[in-house]
Structure 1
Amino acid sequence: MRSKLAFIGLGVMGSPMAINLLQSSYTVVGWNRTPNRPLVEKAAQAGVQIFPTIADAVKDADFIFICVSDVEDVKAVIFGEGGIADNAKSNALIVDFSTIGTTAARDISAQLQPRNLRFMDAPVSGGDIGAQKGTLTIMVGGDKADFDQCLPLLQTMGKKIVYCGTVGNGQAVKLCNQVLCAVHMVALCEAMQVAEQLDLDPNLMIEVCSSGAAGSWALSNLGAKIAESDFAPGFMIKHILKDLRLVQESLADTDINLPGVKLSDRLFKIVQDMGGSEQGTQAMIRAYKESSM
């Protein structure tokens, strides 16, 4: 028998991920806090059955996927009134694709165990393009048997699926990933500034540098968007700021110094203060062009 799947959170990432599950011949039901969003409609048109409550969506599900914004959002859909914890069937596997940090993931898992509900943290990387194409990198923390059971489902949504160890380890790897993404964006913006000042076609710089030692996902995928002042979000500034907050919170009791994290955090906040909270991370370039820094 085919497993029954529920997807909670049908936004920029969740909607295409749910559609990819559906297109792999799985039956998928879903719920979104705001039901009339275009991406929710897109999922519904593809065949995802949208339910009005979380309870209705998860009551018969073997696997429950979550893709929401922050720690409190995840806790609300799991432990809030009418949430997953009170309505999922015994032994269901809850897989959280959100980025919430190691502490929150481990706390949630510990609270679910007495309810006979399984939990894996599975943050993703690859942006909206990766979600649409099913080429995400998925970093998974949890029980190995649960990972093996869920792997065929994860493979419909991602190209590189990595088992990182116990619950919370997926989040730990994701925080490292977000440090790299944030600091790469600083490097990309500064390279674009140098190209402009030297009267160089930025697309030429992108083409040449992408093939060498300086190549990066950011350069190849977001460089052209910066050149065209296209700030449509693949991954919003408000979300990278949340992730950088989690990085710094997770290290609050250590002596580690991360000047690159602090710089990228400051630059993203400049753009946020310009009203760019829901623009893509490539909008960091606005901090260089439109502010006194």
Structure 2
Amino acid sequence: MQISPEKTRIGFIGLGVMGHSMAGHILDSGYALCVHTRTRARADGLVKKGAVWMDSVRKLAANSDVIISIVGYPQDVAQIYLDADGILENAATGSVAIDMTTSDPALARKLAAQSREKGIQVLDAPVSGGDLGARNATLSIMVGGEEPVFTDMLPLFQVMGKNIVYQGPAGSGQHTKMANQIAIAAGMIGVCEALAYAKKAGLDPDTVLSSIGQGAAGSWSLNNLGPRMLKSDFAPGFYVKHFIKDMTIAADSARDLGLDTPGLTLAKTLYERLVDNGCENDGTQALFKLF
């Protein structure tokens, strides 16, 4: 499928912290856009700018050439794709669906297999970069599925992200995102411990950040979330509850692969303590509260 703003209708499902910005970039690029999300009010800003509201997944799928989804949990993905009113039963033959939710690699493979029976192509294309990456259209996008379909969809990915990499067959995008989340999980512990140490030693932590953020210890989490930690800004760029979901998928996948992941296990335990303290809707930088 050759896509262009002039002839390709895009459907977007899920207008949360990241999805709203991603859909906005698509609309701003000139594509005809229809949207659906559980909470109708989240679509108001996009509708005012020209998007068309669809009150069901069924209608959105039937009226779109390319359908993008970014929802909360694997069970939400399964519902919007596999239900009788879902994407696979209602999208037209020859259409493409792109699931950008961080979800289960096994589910991604299942969706790809079942979609082919319907004459539809599905890519798994989870993203990294948080709310900032979504707002600035600088997301990293990790894509699994048929490579020719990835190539066709590349202009659309480029509207939302900068680092866009084809990873391999169906499920490969999700496996790559699991590797990403494992690295972040253990790294967040290090960021929190480092900043807590700086404060305990009587240093100015902002000044410490200016040094260590530019050296070998530098990371996206340290440089972007570290300042938020120091300001006690725990607003969600990515929810604690969703990070725990990701870590659970990663731990399950690692176990299936026969891999021990002690760093991931520790991080998941600490984040679960945050949830026990009522912080499930905070951003992932709220881990600093424990330190």
Aligned position for 1:71: 74
Aligned position for 1:5: 10
Matched residue SS, 1:276: coil
Moved more, 40-49 or 88-97: 40-49
Which whole-Å CA distance do the structure 2 matches of 1:258 and 1:172 have between them?
15
Aligned position for 2:87: 84
Which whole-Å CA distance do the structure 2 matches of 1:12 and 1:205 have between them?
30
Match of 1:27 among 14, 29, 32: 32
TM norm structure 1: 0.95
1:96–1:123 Cα contact (<8 Å) kept: yes
Give how far 1:254 is off. Answer: 4.3
Q: Which amino acid aligns with 2:125?
A: A
Q: Which amino acid aligns with 2:19?
A: G
Aligned position for 2:23: 18
Q: Does 1:263 align with 2:232?
A: no
Give how far 1:132 is off. Answer: 0.7
Q: Does 1:285 align with 2:284?
A: no
Matched residue SS, 1:282: helix
Which whole-Å CA distance do the structure 2 matches of 1:234 and 1:49 have between them?
26
Matched residue SS, 1:252: helix
List runs of 5+ in structure 2 lacking aligned partners.
1-5
Which whole-Å CA distance do the structure 2 matches of 1:26 and 1:162 have between them?
23
Which whole-Å CA distance do the structure 1 matches of 2:44 and 2:221 have between them?
30
Which whole-Å CA distance do the structure 2 matches of 1:81 and 1:233 have between them?
33
List runs of 5+ in structure 1 lacking aligned partners.
289-293
Segments of 4+ moved more than 3 angstroms: none
Write out per-residue CA displacement over residues 239-263 of structure 1, whole angstroms, 9 at most, x where no aligned residue: 1100110011112234422111011
Aligned position for 1:252: 255
Matched residue SS, 1:100: coil
Which whole-Å CA distance do the structure 2 matches of 1:278 and 1:9 have between them?
17
Aligned position for 2:152: 149
TM norm structure 2: 0.96
Give how far 1:36 is off. Answer: 2.0
Which whole-Å CA distance do the structure 1 matches of 2:62 and 2:204 have between them?
56
Which whole-Å CA distance do the structure 2 matches of 1:286 and 1:129 have between them?
22
Which whole-Å CA distance do the structure 1 matches of 2:257 and 2:89 have between them?
37
Which whole-Å CA distance do the structure 2 matches of 1:200 and 1:41 have between them?
46
Which whole-Å CA distance do the structure 1 matches of 2:257 and 2:208 have between them?
39
Aligned position for 1:44: 47
Q: Does 1:220 align with 2:223?
A: yes
1:122–1:171 Cα contact (<8 Å) kept: yes
Q: Which amino acid aligns with 2:178?
A: L
Matched residue SS, 1:36: helix
Which whole-Å CA distance do the structure 2 matches of 1:279 and 1:234 have between them?
9
How large is the Cα RMSD of the aligned pairs? Answer: 1.1
